Amino acid sequence: MAGKRKPAKRIAEAAPTAEGRFSYEGLERVIHEKARLGILASLASNANGLLFNDLKQLCTLTDGNLSRHLDVLSEAGLIEVWKSTSGSRTQTMYRFSATGRQRFAEYISVLEKVVTDAQSELQPSSDKPERSNGWAPA
């Protein structure tokens, strides 16, 4: 029979100043979805905007899927839709709205914090104590 285990420390007891440290409130669901994140990253690197077909190719989305994600981003106020005619064809261009660019920049800052937090714990360090404290892999 194994010996008694010590009760695990509660997070609040271990680090009372770290309440909610990993909650990352700035990660907006409307942006965080993979396809929409790709669309916004594409627009961030093309300040003058991108045509629908260019976005479709860059993000490898179908017409319907891209259209739906663009609608969500537009309704959220993140992007602007611009129309133009070229001959008999109408072209649609998308670009960040002013508030959309700011919100995306804030979102990226939170993502950078996620990466920093994760990397600080993943980096091997000789000054970090061994954390087994009687724990063993199951």
From start to end of 4-70, where are the E strands? 50-51
Cβ neighbours around 54 below 10 Å, total: 14
Which domains does the chain possess?
Answer: 28-113 (1.10.10.10)
User: Over 90: is that where the pLDDT of 43 sits?
Assistant: yes
The rounded distance, in Å, linking the Cα atoms of 66 and 127 is 48
82 sits in which H/E element = strand 79-86
Structural contact between residues 107 and 31, judged by C-beta atoms closer than 8 angstroms: yes
Note the pLDDT of residue 122.
Answer: 76
Interval 51-89: pLDDT, tens: 999 999 999 999 999 999 999 999 999 999 999 998 889
Q: Which of 109, 117, 106, 134 is nearest to 15 (CA)?
A: 117
Interval 89-118: pLDDT, tens: 999 999 999 999 999 999 999 999 999 988
**Three-class secondary structure of residue 55 per DSSP:** helix
Q: Is the whole-model pTM more than 0.95?
A: no
Tell the residue number behind the tokens 């649609």, with chain if given: 92
The rounded distance, in Å, linking the Cα atoms of 69 and 103 is 17
Choose between 91 and 128: higher pLDDT. Answer: 91
Cβ neighbours around 103 below 10 Å, total: 20
The rounded distance, in Å, linking the Cα atoms of 73 and 69 is 6
